[in-house]
Structure 1
């Protein structure tokens, strides 16, 4: 038996008596055990050890998930560590950053903590954006996933407080991607989609100047990719889409372009700013139906100009939205000051009235030929159907208000005034009736343009010469006012327009209590 000292140090002992040579050299006490030490307890088997390890891992994972859940629900977990790397702040085993790291070189290792809060984790992000079941090569870039999750969070009550956090993280990710290398980086379709979606989110949050610049950036990227010429006669696919081998991928590029087109037209039409897209430069087919896109079966469509000129009877619901955006912008451009005085007195051959008649006829035709899935009241639960119909009637209001203005200014025949009055009242009534049927106001009015449409309908009822039934006009105005008031808690534009409507109602003697209602509901007024 080895001496106690050698055994404790796990050194070889020569077992010399009375002291081993090692202890003798060190002049240390050397003692030998009187009996051999027996092993206590049975030897544990490998399966038993694996079972215990699995149980411990389960306990640790459960504890960690509870800790992360408490952190995400804690409003105090905001950028407490603005100067630290995100990986130094939290355990990110289940975070989306790890998913990116496992699929290839990650550009997110230096992404900083969002100043609006902690980055959501795997399960939470999957609730807002389901891409975890896709293979790594099919997953969109992380910045695109974040902005989609931000848009989803903005309309889901449980996650609404995370919307701005996700938005800021999306912008941090795309900046990191763009600045990761000093070499020029080619633009991609994902970048165009990102800036379009981020612009939409910013508009919902009433960051209008920021939304406009994001949209401008998105549009320039799309033009660099030649998305506006996907179906040009020369047959050359634009850079970045040249690897496209099947119809669904090409259709995705087309749809990206038309979403950008609609955004440009609605922004320009509602603000009066010049449009950034010239119709004559577009040679991309209108989007196909949802069924064709989802199934991957090619479907032929036409160009925007051809559909308008030929009065095509069949087109997709997406194409219907494109047509509405186009005609809404044409109506707004028509009523702008620099066009309204073009030979307005010549009601037969003047360019003003010729253009007015053409746009009015196009709008009437569009209503009659809407695809079945855009018709009301059968599709009241469809946000696209609601938006499309309301925007058509808003365009009619814009168009005919200009006609009535010119009729009054130039003392033109009363028949023009009567026709414009009938069209105005009919369009305002349609908007009012659609609003009365909407069950989820928050979801519907997440698009700020609908607030603008509600105000346009209100302007019709405020005009005593147009809305002659003052009692009905007062009822409709009060209803629209209460919609604005309900939205004013989270919508700055709705708050401003509610105050304006209340003041106009009081000035024309329709409802003297309107101002008091606004004052009570909107204290800062």
Structure 2
């Protein structure tokens, strides 16, 4: 045997051992296996080439060419870029995490977090984003999948594990849904489980997971990543889904509502203003503001609802868009998009303001029904917003409808404030203005007097919407009287009138503090994200009072209590920190 043959034997097995995938002892003239089987022991002259077959390579080259053509058509060279630090939300103080931050275990280890070591007590948004990209890698998607095509390329991110999705969905409907009940729980869970025929946009699903992550220590560090992905998918849908017409859906409107609520909560005010505008515009484009108007005058962009529950869900989506439009206007100081009085506002008769207010609304969608009726598909007749201010019987008013009424009161008080500001420093307010102011002030009083039993706090202590609505009604009272004091100073009205308004402000602020004490054990995670605002108004009244009477220990005690509540809330609701910074408690004179 020459050197070439000995070298070949050193590295190769005989043909029989290779076919049986057995270890060859390379004995000559026959190896052990061939000797036992009585077979010829032969060696191949050349080693078998490793690697893919030429046919496979040709197929891969063809697919790569198609991907390159798609890239040229879409005008982009890459997909899903990691946002720069300027695109990420500002760092917010996070809640302390537990030492062992682990995902639900499964056969796959792609969600194993031990690589990060013990969790630090604070994780900023950028770190969470980078960590999440490690956990949720990009994978090839099916080009026939509607979700894949909506991104513009045949790639999409790996969704969280089924265990994680299950947890986040349950957390959302347990802790977030009570204050944002715009998605029917059972129907959503059924639709989201039909992965083969998924009709829910990924922007909506990611925003649901984002809000759920905010309420849970275990997944808290992922809320920024979920928000970034939701916004990316929503913006991509605007340009790739049928030239933008594909976004005119109820699900996209729900996604933008959840997005704007998150941005208001995290004090991302410019983004929130844009998102609120998109949510409100979509609700108006779809025609959600005229669901219960005359059919011949309503132009719908969606097919009629299949049943009463679907119609009620649309109704709730519109009214939530209406509410966040009011809240965003208060938080940012910018005008409202949905103005309930913009149709015939120029013809308002200030001598009969209550009647004018009930006749000038452009909203022809009735208020939301009771929660039980919505969940159990029990049709219910509800009131129009304008009917609430005129009706004596409010027994059909649900807690969510009460929130809408309170948002309307806050919006009107804001419009009233801007009306005063247009006069400047000189007194241009006439008798009609003062009559209008008195009628505005009477509306919250009449509503509180006619409030049905199920909406009074003695019976609704565990209803997040009823609690929040009561706080907002008292907040609107404070706002009206504060503006009356400001107007009185402009017009040099008698001091006794200003003292009367100041006393009513103190009374409403004390009511807000009392309500907050009554719900002291309430889960703050289930509260409306705008709860800090009425607390801020009440605390500001106390600060102003202490400037003139610094020795009032009772008011000082109430102020300290409200400040402590706002400090507790700001750890999970940064908007509370924003209101707290505007309060200037340090300027209140010490006793």
Question: Which category describes the TM-score, using the shorter chain as reference length?
Answer: 0.7 to 0.9
Task: Tell me the distance in 1 between the aligned counterparts of 2:323 and 2:199.
Answer: 26
- Aligned residue for 2:590, secondary structure, equals coil
Measured after TM superposition, the shift of residue 164 of structure 1 is: 1.0
Q: Deviations over 1:382-417 (max 9, x none)?
A: 321221111111110010112233334444355533
- Aligned residue for 1:157, secondary structure, equals coil
Task: Tell me the distance in 1 between the aligned counterparts of 2:111 and 2:481.
Answer: 57
Measured after TM superposition, the shift of residue 493 of structure 1 is: 4.9
Match of residue 111 from structure 2 = 68
Give aligned pairs, total.
451
Task: Tell me the distance in 2 between the aligned counterparts of 1:257 and 1:429.
Answer: 33
Matched, 1:205 2:266: yes
The structure with the larger Rg is 1
Task: Tell me the distance in 2 between the aligned counterparts of 1:84 and 1:164.
Answer: 14
Task: Tell me the distance in 1 between the aligned counterparts of 2:570 and 2:105.
Answer: 42
Task: Tell me the distance in 2 between the aligned counterparts of 1:236 and 1:346.
Answer: 40
Task: Tell me the distance in 2 between the aligned counterparts of 1:295 and 1:478.
Answer: 44
Q: 1:105 to 1:476 in 2, by over 3 A?
A: closer
Task: Tell me the distance in 2 between the aligned counterparts of 1:282 and 1:72.
Answer: 54
Q: 1:311 to 1:336 in 2, by over 3 A?
A: farther
Match of residue 380 from structure 1 = 461
Q: 1:414 to 1:66 in 2, by over 3 A?
A: same
Q: 1:85 to 1:362 in 2, by over 3 A?
A: closer
Match of residue 516 from structure 1 = none
Contact 2:366 2:382 in 1 (8 A): yes
Matched, 1:368 2:449: yes
Matched, 1:434 2:515: yes
Match of residue 402 from structure 1 = 483
Match of residue 162 from structure 2 = 122
Structure with the larger RCO, 1 or 2 (CA within 8 Å, 6+ apart): 2
Root-mean-square deviation over aligned CA pairs: 4.1
Task: Tell me the distance in 1 between the aligned counterparts of 2:409 and 2:300.
Answer: 31
- Aligned residue for 1:355, secondary structure, equals helix
- Aligned residue for 1:422, secondary structure, equals helix
Match of residue 453 from structure 1 = 534
- Aligned residue for 1:480, secondary structure, equals helix
State the TM-score, normalized to the length of structure 1. Answer: 0.73
Q: 1:478 to 1:105 in 2, by over 3 A?
A: closer
Match of residue 479 from structure 1 = 561
Q: Deviations over 1:239-298 (max 9, x none)?
A: 343242211111111111111011112222454422211313321121122122112122
Task: Tell me the distance in 1 between the aligned counterparts of 2:552 and 2:572.
Answer: 31
Q: Which runs of 5+ in 2 are unaligned?
A: 1-12, 20-27, 39-103, 120-126, 171-187, 341-360
Q: 1:254 to 1:416 in 2, by over 3 A?
A: same
Residue pairs, 1:125-164, within 5 angstroms:
125-130=165-170, 133-134=190-191, 136=194, 137=197, 140-164=200-224
Measured after TM superposition, the shift of residue 176 of structure 1 is: 3.9
Match of residue 332 from structure 1 = 414
Contact 1:331 1:399 in 2 (8 A): yes
Q: Which runs of 5+ in 1 are unaligned?
A: 11-27, 38-60, 512-525
Task: Tell me the distance in 1 between the aligned counterparts of 2:134 and 2:239.
Answer: 19
Residue pairs, 1:310-329, within 5 angstroms:
310-314=391-395, 315-329=397-411
Task: Tell me the distance in 1 between the aligned counterparts of 2:162 and 2:448.
Answer: 45
Measured after TM superposition, the shift of residue 510 of structure 1 is: 2.7
Match of residue 308 from structure 1 = 389
Q: 1:68 to 1:290 in 2, by over 3 A?
A: same
Task: Tell me the distance in 2 between the aligned counterparts of 1:168 and 1:33.
Answer: 64
Task: Tell me the distance in 1 between the aligned counterparts of 2:366 and 2:207.
Answer: 27
Contact 1:155 1:443 in 2 (8 A): yes
1:192 to 246, 253, 261: 253
Contact 1:445 1:451 in 2 (8 A): no
Task: Tell me the distance in 2 between the aligned counterparts of 1:310 and 1:77.
Answer: 51
State the TM-score, normalized to the length of structure 2. Answer: 0.66
Measured after TM superposition, the shift of residue 487 of structure 1 is: 4.3
Measured after TM superposition, the shift of residue 373 of structure 1 is: 3.9
Match of residue 281 from structure 1 = 362
Match of residue 47 from structure 2 = none
- Aligned residue for 1:379, secondary structure, equals coil
2:228 to 162, 168, 173: 168
Matched, 1:354 2:415: no
Match of residue 250 from structure 1 = 311
Measured after TM superposition, the shift of residue 324 of structure 1 is: 0.6
Contact 1:71 1:77 in 2 (8 A): no
Measured after TM superposition, the shift of residue 491 of structure 1 is: 5.5
Contact 1:228 1:283 in 2 (8 A): yes
- Aligned residue for 2:302, secondary structure, equals coil
Match of residue 501 from structure 1 = 584
- Aligned residue for 2:295, secondary structure, equals coil
Match of residue 137 from structure 2 = 86
Task: Tell me the distance in 1 between the aligned counterparts of 2:115 and 2:400.
Answer: 37
Measured after TM superposition, the shift of residue 338 of structure 1 is: 3.7
Contact 2:128 2:222 in 1 (8 A): no
Task: Tell me the distance in 1 between the aligned counterparts of 2:576 and 2:16.
Answer: 84
Match of residue 25 from structure 1 = none
Measured after TM superposition, the shift of residue 310 of structure 1 is: 3.0
Q: 1:307 to 1:475 in 2, by over 3 A?
A: closer
Q: 1:242 to 1:413 in 2, by over 3 A?
A: same
Contact 2:413 2:479 in 1 (8 A): yes
Task: Tell me the distance in 2 between the aligned counterparts of 1:431 and 1:173.
Answer: 40
Q: Deviations over 1:392-451 (max 9, x none)?
A: 11110010112233334444355533532332121010111122232257426761x332
Q: 1:80 to 1:496 in 2, by over 3 A?
A: closer
Q: 1:73 to 1:283 in 2, by over 3 A?
A: farther
Q: 1:168 to 1:471 in 2, by over 3 A?
A: same
